[in-house]
């Protein structure tokens, strides 16, 4: 089975089957039938890609209300530490985070359901991060949480004084302050 459960309900690791040979390898990064066989009926509508350098930290972001997004994230070049935070108020794991190293070498992907904040930190010299979304981006519905929030206490495994963070991410609210309904 290519799906592994995490300690947070509905947050899944996808490990595709790899077919290596003397030319390299082949794998299906996404097959809707595989997802449906698992009971996951997600209809992705948008693909995004970002290239970043070591120490770039993007997040923690989410979309709210009718524009909430589920994501399937992966790395096609380099390595990142990927982080998802459960923001679902009725969830038994509300406020808990999950971290995983995603890389071009391990081919792992993380399915981040709606109701989560998400971010990542680039660990390699460069990385290309690719993700599918099940809803379109809406600036009016964007929200976020500070990456260095003391309540969340995320272990990024990196000296946070050395990270490169956008101005927008530096002014995100702390966890529990002005969280918009996800």
Residue 130 lies in a domain: yes
Residue 60 lies in a domain: yes
Dump pLDDT digits (tens) for 89-124: 999 999 999 999 999 999 999 999 999 999 999 999
Instruction: Name the strand (E) or helix (H) holding 33.
Output: helix 32-37
Residue 176 lies in a domain: no
Say how many domains are in the chain.
Answer: 1
For position 98, which CATH number holds? 2.60.120.10
Dump pLDDT digits (tens) for 24-53: 999 999 999 999 999 999 999 999 999 999
**Active site residues per annotation:** 61, 131
Q: Shortest CA distance to 62 belongs to which of 102, 122, 129, 112?
A: 112
Q: Which pTM value belongs to this model?
A: 0.94
Instruction: Name the strand (E) or helix (H) holding 34.
Output: helix 32-37
Domain that holds residue 55: 3-170
Residue 180 lies in a domain: no
């Amino acid at each position: 089975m290519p799906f592994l459960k995490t300690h947070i309900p509905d947050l899944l690791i996808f490990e595709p089957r790899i077919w290596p040979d003397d030319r390299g390898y082949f794998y299906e990064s996404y097959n809707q039938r595989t997802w449906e066989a698992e009971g996951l009926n997600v209809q992705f509508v948008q693909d995004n890609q970002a290239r970043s350098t070591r120490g770039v930290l993007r997040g923690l972001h989410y979309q709210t209300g009718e524009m909430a997004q589920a994501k399937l994230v992966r790395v096609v070049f380099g390595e990142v530490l990927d982080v998802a935070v459960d923001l679902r108020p009725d969830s038994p794991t509300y406020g808990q985070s999950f971290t995983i190293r995603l890389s071009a070498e391990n081919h792992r992907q993380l399915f981040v359901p709606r109701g989560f904040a998400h971010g990542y930190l680039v660990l390699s010299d460069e990385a290309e991060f690719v993700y599918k979304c099940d809803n379109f981006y809406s600036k009016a519905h964007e929200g976020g949480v500070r990456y260095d929030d003391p309540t969340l206490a995320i272990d990024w495994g990196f000296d946070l004084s050395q990270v490169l963070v956008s101005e927008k991410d530096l002014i995100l609210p702390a966890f529990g302050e002005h969280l918009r309904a996800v």
